[in-house]
Structure 1
Amino acid sequence: MSLYIAFDPIYAHPLPAGHRFPMLKYELIPEQLLHEGLISASDLHSPDPVDESSILRTHSKSYWERVRDLTLSPAEIRRIGFPLSRELVEREMRIAQGTINGSIHAIKNKVALNVAGGTHHAGSDWGEGFCLLNDQAIAANFLLDNALASRILIIDLDVHQGNGTAEIFARDDRVFTFSMHAESNFPFRKEKSDLDLGLEDGTNGLRYVTLLYIHLCDILLTFKPDFVFYLSGVDVLETDKLGKLNLSIQECMKRDAMVLGLCKEHAIPVQISMGGGYSPNIKHIVDAHCNTFRVAGDLFL
């Protein structure tokens, strides 16, 4: 068995030059994994753009049409944080389809990854924080609509609360949203997840991993999901300029091993999207993200 990894070159270059630094990791992650021999080119799968029917199961028609037609207001564009363009919209559509494809693959093969994704700030009728379309929410609704899953757990370990995901599934008891984040960080208006663990600034790796293990074990035993979406943001690192937590790269890797190990132990397929990472040194970001792929390979191959 090989890893299934959704990736398209457009992940890395949809923006004007002044906005490209956050996108470099999407190009460097697969290059590093190929260099190490952890993956081969055949493991990388370029998704088509997601169809509108899948988008409209998660996002409102009026919001999607404003995105599609590039008619978002200046205030809406500022809230997203990126210049709006057809390339950016196509990028988000391909990411969402990559997460759908990965989730289908994971049902048969236990795990799949998307080099991008984790666009958890996009709500049903808004974009925010570099997120236009919520890839894991779109994929979760796809699985539910097609009877491919019936109880879905979304584990959001980005340093920022998954406010869009929480809002989308606020009234759907088939989806359990679990967000563990820095409480004082963005977004400053948070939505209510099924479980929110808002951590104090400077929380260290030992406390982080201990709390995660206790609460995740409880969710798995009580909610009993048959599919997991995992948002593995690396903006929890002590070096991250937008995070407020204090995990080392090794502790972040231990976090991934715990989450994926529990999914394997409970025989629950898992789709992984990368989420945020904003350390000034791009090497820290790429190493931490690549660790997620390394852990998945060690556990599932």
Structure 2
Amino acid sequence: MLAFHSDAHSLALPAGHSFPQSKYRLLREHFEAQPGLLRMQAAPAASEAELALVHRPDYIEAVLQGGLSAAAQREIGFPWSAQMAARSRHSVGASIAAARAALQEGVAANMAGGTHHAFADRGSGYCVFNDVAVAAKLMQAEWREQHGQALNVLVIDLDVHQGNGTAAIFQGDASVFTFSMHGAKNFPARKEASDLDVELPDGCADAEYLAALDIALATIWARYQHAAPGLAFYLAGADPHEGDRLGRLKLTTAGMLARDQRVLDALRARRIPVALSMAGGYGHDISSTLACQINTLNTAAHSWLQWQQMPRQRSVQE
């Protein structure tokens, strides 16, 4: 399975900053030592034209040229630097590359990404550009050019925080279905309306979480009973884990693995290609976050292997 990394571009963060950027390097180093089914590649940078499919030109220019105000930098949570801008472009590029690979091979991954708090005109919550939104828009444009028909997209966002930026970007767009399952009392304080939102109470554990996920997935499949979406994005956040500093939920490592298996099995059964993003993860012990994300990528890689053993067939597009 192709997996794209972008950790070469480090953020210039002050001492004690809460964003655990080392997890991306550690994740890559783990799979360099134990690659298994992963074929890792450095991510390309998204172009300004690709970013402009979603983001306002003045916002793109402010990020790339260092014109973000102090207030905008505080909302994002990162101080501006050239490395911050480069990292953001490469993270979007990783999701673009993963989406293209998924359409060819069934499953692929961005080893970072999931920047779902970024809006068209601003960043927020450690998110600068919205990688999934840009990749979705670009894949739709490329698919229409190549195949002469629409590409319907499904976003499955299981980060513990609501995907408010993604929801806002695609509100009113019937070609993209946004689903977010998240902590009701967690960030952001003001939620946006996804096509399907499932809010969970603090302390939610494995059984309750997985039951809610089953109901939500059944609702989605009922909507798509006549024509499956042509591409899915899965934001497999590690922050619902019980060891997360910011998550407030109580999923065990086994529960997180069962979550990933449910999603990937359901997509494969319906022949829906999927591009994964790792999204959030802020473990008290970073090893707990890494364990969840390693499990996610290994589960995705085994799903990719099963895709390769299936008869070649395109998913339905109408």
Q: Where in structure 2 are the equivalents of 1:1-301 lying within 5 Å? A: 3-11=1-9, 13-16=10-13, 18=15, 19=17, 22-39=20-37, 43-147=39-143, 150-223=151-224, 224-301=228-305
Structure 1 residue 39 displacement after superposition: 4.4
Q: d(CA) in 1 for partners of 2:172 and 2:18? A: 37
Confirm or deny: 8 A CA contact 1:8 1:45 kept in the other structure.
no
- One-letter identity of the residue aligned with 2:48: E
Q: d(CA) in 2 for partners of 1:67 and 1:183? A: 31
Structure 1 residue 300 displacement after superposition: 2.1
Structure 1 residue 35 displacement after superposition: 2.6
Structure 1 residue 151 displacement after superposition: 0.9
Q: State the match for 2:147 in structure 1.
A: none
Structure 1 residue 52 displacement after superposition: 0.8
**Which runs of 4 or more aligned residues in structure 1 lie more than 3 Å from their structure 2 counterparts after TM superposition?**
none
1:122-163 CA distance string (max 9 Å, x none): 011110000000000000000111226611000000000000
Structure 1 residue 183 displacement after superposition: 0.7
Q: Which runs of 5+ in 2 are unaligned?
A: 145-149, 306-318
Structure 1 residue 269 displacement after superposition: 0.2
- One-letter identity of the residue aligned with 1:253: L
Q: d(CA) in 2 for partners of 1:34 and 1:72? A: 36
Q: CA RMSD in A?
A: 1.4
Structure 1 residue 17 displacement after superposition: 5.7
Structure 1 residue 222 displacement after superposition: 1.4
Q: d(CA) in 2 for partners of 1:112 and 1:298? A: 11
Q: How many residues align?
A: 296
TM-score normalised by L of structure 2 = 0.90
Q: Which runs of 5+ in 1 are unaligned?
A: none
1:105-132 CA distance string (max 9 Å, x none): 1111000011100000001111000000
**Aligned-pair identity (%):** 39
Confirm or deny: 8 A CA contact 1:76 1:126 kept in the other structure.
yes
Structure 1 residue 64 displacement after superposition: 1.3
- One-letter identity of the residue aligned with 1:168: I
